[in-house]
Chain A
Amino acid sequence: MKKIIAKHGLTAAVVSLLVLVFAFGGVYSRFMTAQIAARANGGTGTDYIDMMTGATSSEVFATADVVKTYALADDRGDFTPSVLASYRLSSDAGEIGVVYVVSSHGKFPGIQIAFAFDLATDEVVAVKVVAQAETPAYYGTLDAAFFAQFDGMALADVGLAVDAVAGATYSSKSFEIALLYAREHYAVDYGFQIPSIAITLNSLTRNFDLATFIAMPYVADVTYGEDDVNVVVYLDAAFDVAGVLSGTEPAADVKAAIKSLAAADASLNTRASFVQYDPDSRELVMQTKGYSSNPIRVTIVLNATLDAIVSYEVDSHETYSEEEAIEDSGYGGGEVPWVENSFIDDYRLDGVLDVDAVGGASYTSPAMKALVALLDQFLGSVGGGD
């Protein structure tokens, strides 16, 4: 034995070490491969058992094929989410819940959010972010209070919506899209009736009443219910009902439905908004969302008849060089706020905006176009127009 060890011991030791490293590494790399594959497909079932109290097992199931499109915040177009994975959660007594892992769209696509629904109460019991690639500074503001709103959220709420966190609107909106879409799947898979009220949004317009337009920028004309009750209401910037212009104040569920309809209505220019108005100095502050996360603010002084611009000042944090690089076309203008000034100066010439866009400033241009269009509407309403 000693002879064998003396002769072959070193070889055996080296080979054993090699096999050990190879085996350990092999197990580790297979584990990593399994994890990344599961992650690309919405996670593994065991990741979600702890989302529901009392759940002891999870089972993959094929959810129904549902196609729905949702508008992204700030007029960035439409998005069609998808369910990456769906799991039935069971306890010893039987099936108690369901988890949908939805691929949604915040600032960027690819945020994966899992919602757990309680089959007994039709409520949201847990939410989990499986993966995300949002801007860390903004996503990080989604705190415990934000996530707490989902606890016990009733799927039967006609105005099911997510309260956004200021400064993280896109990321917040991604949760709302995911939740609404998950509810659609829940409705098809489990026969859940998504509540709806017979309601029609007859019109959604801007409120240009000088006394109220800052706090309540929108006016919605709706008809609802079996009796076709008509009401015209003021809406605030978040589309919550803030006052009644005519008719009887509607109930809470109708208000929620009005909010949902107004928020989804794409007919209105909501990119630009009014911030402040001083009737004494006739100083109007407007803002619009361009490329920078800080909106472009324009302070405009109007004339006495409120139909022309006397002077203006732009506070902008745009970066034309980055927009130009993304758009990959030349920008030939001046430094910030050259683009913003160009739009306003053009409008001031004859009260008509002839500039469509400035090449290389593909984010700032539509933002300023929206602002000038809104200003034009405002002047047309409160003043004499041109």
Chain B
Amino acid sequence: MARFANVKAPYLRLTDDRKYGTGTIQRDFMIALLPVILFAFYKNGVLVYLDGNITLLEMFYPLVFILAGGFLSTLLEALFFIVTDKSVRTMKALGTKLSVSYAAIPGLLLAMILPLYTPIWVLLFGCIAATLVAKMLFGGFGYNVFNPALIGYLAVAFTLYGVIQDAGGALNASEVILDAAGGATPLGALVEGQGLSYAALVAPYGTLWDFFLGTIPGAIAETGSLAILIAYVWLVARKVIRWYVPAVYVGTVFLLSWAIGAIAGADGVWFPLYSILSGGLMFGAVFMATEPVTTPRNPLGKIVFALFLGVFTILFRFVGDLAEGVATAIVFMNIFTMPIDNWTAVIRSEFGSKTVFAKGAGRIKKPIPKYVVKLIVLVVLIALIGLYGVLKAGGMFSASILPFAGRLF
């Protein structure tokens, strides 16, 4: 049902109010990144320095690396404007362009989800993929189809992973000493097939509380679930994101993981908690799955998008053995943003409407409303993918083979 303001004209556009402009949204977004960046600096820099495992110079590297990401993407975008836009010939013109393009964000986000010892040239490569390819070549801010930071991340992860490992990998100097799981991050341990047990997946890194705080191996800034939660609360309070998108995404992964754990004999709540607190799920759910340009616009579309993200993350992580399940799921679902928006717009507008037939029309077979068909298709798709992922993953980890799971497909 279309919604109309219950007042007379003229109407004030929200975007005319400075409080709700794009600039304000981006400012609030940057503020939200602060606790996560500070935690990354604390965990990979300050804490390791206090352990006595690095020097003062090494302590600042995580901060410098993240800022370098922001700088590189800004400079690359500036270069793009200079080369492609003849009107950009002065610093002022360039500054104006950059101020509405929010150039630093892809680079910042990319740097935050890369391993600590990523060489700077790899970061530059990722920034080129993120900023120039995924953002500017599609038309710049507001026109990109895919999440730029994730395109940069996937470009690096799928082509230069070995280079990053050789340069030092993801473990900081304190974690490399412990080396409890052979240099693997918690999610890496699962992907490497170390089994579905608390002893193999959680205990080498501490307790689930450590997972929540973020003092576990992982990318520079993705492990700090508590810091990300603080950012989430801020973004919801400032109305930058809708609260239900990350909630539905994380909730879906939690429920499906719980089901997989139940099938595989990992009783209790530790496995679903491990699933949502390891890898980049929390980070992706709050900062990537809520990105306004590349995700659906209407509320139902956002919920459907988040549900699909949840089931695909499970599928890619547990069945596909892909540690980058979150990034892949989000980029994959970016493709379907427009169809989801269109379908859910129809569902929202037609839901509950009744077809009125003229008198004397006789017995007419009432057609199934289109929105019902679309709704059923979406629900069935989500359910099927989710069910397949759960049964297949559960069968893979379980000693007792289910009668059909994992055998037919």
Interface residues of A (CB under 8 A from B): 6-7, 10-11, 14-15, 17-18, 21-22, 25-26, 28-33, 35-37, 39-40, 108, 110-112, 129, 131-133, 322, 325-328, 330
Contact B71 A35 (CB under 8 A): no
Contact, CB under 8 Å: A326 / B203:
yes
Q: Could you say which of B57, B82, B177, B203 has the most chain A C-beta atoms within 10 Å of its C-beta?
A: B177
Check A39 against B173 for contact (C-beta < 8 Å): yes
Q: A14-B79, A25-B123, A110-B178 are in contact. Are A36 and B117 (CB under 8 A)?
A: yes
Contact A129 B52 (CB under 8 A): yes
Query: Within the complex, what minimum Cβ distance (angstroms) separates B180 from chain A?
Result: 8
- C-alpha gap A111/B178 in the complex (Å): 8
A14 touches B75 (CB 8 A): yes
Report B-chain residues with C-beta under 8 Å of the C-beta of A33: 117, 119, 167-168
Smallest CB-CB separation from B119: which chain A residue? A29
Interface residue from B65, B78, B168, B173 paired with A131 (Cβ < 8 Å): B173
Q: Which residues of B contact A10 (CB under 8 A)?
A: 82, 88-91, 94
Given contacts A26-B121, A327-B199, A328-B199, contact A35 B176 (CB under 8 A): no
A325 near B120: Cβ-Cβ < 8 Å: no
Q: How far is the CA of A29 from the CA of B66 in the complex (A)?
A: 12
| Given A14-B82, A22-B72; A36-B90 close (CB under 8 Å) | no
Interface residues of B in 193-215 (CB under 8 A from A): 197-199, 202-203, 207
| Complex CA–CA separation, A178 to B118 (angstroms) | 34
Residue pair B65, A11 in contact (C-beta under 8 Å): no
Give the residues in chain A near B179, CB-CB below 8 Å.
110
Chosen A-B contacts, 16 in total, with CB atoms closer than 8 Å, are A18-B72, A18-B75, A21-B71, A21-B75, A22-B72, A25-B64, A28-B64, A29-B120, A32-B58, A35-B58, A39-B176, A110-B179, A131-B173, A325-B198, A325-B270, A328-B198
Q: Mark B58-84, 1 if CB is under 8 A from A, else 0.
A: 100100110010011001101100110
Q: Is the CB of B91 within 8 A of A22?
A: no
Contact A133 B177 (CB under 8 A): yes
A283 CB to closest chain B CB (Å) equals 38
Check if B174 is an interface residue, CB within 8 A of chain A.
yes
Asked if A32 and B168 make an inter-chain contact with CB atoms under 8 angstroms apart, the answer reads yes
A-B contact number at CB 8 A = 112
Bound Cα distance from A35 to B90, whole angstroms: 42
Can you name 14 extra interface pairs (CB under 8 A) apart from A33-B117, A133-B174, A328-B199?
A11-B83, A14-B94, A18-B75, A18-B76, A21-B71, A25-B65, A25-B120, A26-B120, A29-B61, A31-B57, A33-B167, A39-B176, A325-B202, A325-B270
Give the residue among A7, A14, A112 with the most B Cβ atoms within 10 A: A14
B101 within 8 A of A: no
Q: A365 to B121: give the CA distance in the assembly, Å.
A: 54
Looking across the interface, which residue of chain B has its beta carbon closest to that of A108? B178
Query: Quick check: B64 and A325 within 8 Å, CB to CB?
Result: no
A28 contacts across to B, CB distance below 8 A: 61, 64, 120
What bracket does the count of chain B residues touching chain A fall in?
Answer: 35 or more
Measured CB to CB, the closest approach of chain B to A350, in angstroms, equals 36
CA distance A21 to B76 in the complex (A): 12
Cα distance A41–B202 when bound, in Å? 26
**Complex formed: what's the CA distance from A373 to B72 in Å?**
68
Q: Contacts of B61 on A, CB cut-off 8 Å? A: 28-29, 32
B16: interface (CB < 8 Å) = no
Complex contacts, A111 vs chain B, CB 8 Å? 177
Check B177–A131 contact: CB distance below 8 A.
Answer: yes
Q: Are B176 and A40 in contact (CB under 8 A)?
A: yes
Interchain CA distance A297-B110 in the complex, whole Å: 54
Which A residues lie within 8 Å of B270 (CB)? 325
Shortest Cβ distance from B213 into chain A, in angstroms? 14
For the complex of A and B, 6 pairs with smallest distance between CB atoms: A25-B120, A36-B168, A133-B178, A110-B177, A328-B197, A18-B75
The residue in chain A whose Cβ has the minimal distance to the Cβ of B94 is: A10
Q: How far is the CA of A24 from the CA of B158 in the complex (A)?
A: 26
Knowing A35-B54, A36-B117, A129-B52, the reply to whether A25 touches B68 (Cβ < 8 A) is yes
- Give A262 to B333 CA distance when docked, in angstroms: 67
In contact, A132 and B51 (Cβ under 8 angstroms): yes
CB distance from B211 to the nearest CB of A (A): 13
Contact, CB under 8 Å: B79 / A11: yes
The smallest C-beta distance from A359 to any residue of chain B, in angstroms, reads 14
The answer to whether the Cβ of B398 comes within 8 Å of any Cβ in the partner chain is: no
- With A35-B58, A328-B199: A22-B94 Cβ-Cβ less than 8 Å: no
B124 within 8 A of A: yes
Distance from A84 Cβ to chain B, minimum over Cβ atoms (Å): 11
Q: How far is the CA of A37 from the CA of B168 in the complex (A)?
A: 7
Contact of B144 with A by CB under 8 A: no
* Neighbour of B120 across the interface among A6, A22, A36, A322, CB < 8 A: A22
Report the minimal beta-carbon distance from B168 to chain A, rounded to whole angstroms.
Answer: 4
What A residues does B176 contact at CB under 8 A? 36, 39-40
- Given A32-B168, A110-B178, A326-B199; A132-B121 close (CB under 8 Å): no
How far, in Å, is A260 (CB) from chain B's closest CB?
Answer: 29
Interface residues as binary, B169-189 with A (CB distance below 8 Å gives 1, 0 otherwise): 000011011110000000000
Given A29-B117, A36-B117, are A132 and B177 also a contact pair (CB < 8 Å)? yes
Q: Is the CB of A29 within 8 A of B65?
A: yes
- B334-360 with Cβ < 8 A to chain A: none
Q: How far is the CB of B126 from chain A (nearest CB, A)?
A: 13
Q: How far is the CB of A308 from chain B (nearest CB, A)?
A: 40
Of chain A, the residue at the smallest CB distance from B64 is A28
